[in-house]
Amino acid sequence: MPLVRIDIIENRRTPDEVKKLADIVQDVMRETFDAPARDRYQIITEHKPGNLIAEDTGLGYTRTDDLVMIQITQQGRDEDNKKALYSTLAERLKEQTGLSGDDLIIAVSENTPADWSFGHGVAQFLEGQL
Residues taking part in catalysis: 2
Q: SS3 for the chain, per residue?
A: CCEEEEEEECCCCCHHHHHHHHHHHHHHHHHHCCCCCCCCCEEEEEECCCCCCCCCCCCCCCCCCCCEEEEEEECCCCHHHHHHHHHHHHHHHHHHHCCCHHHEEEEEEECCHHHCCCECCECCCCCCCC
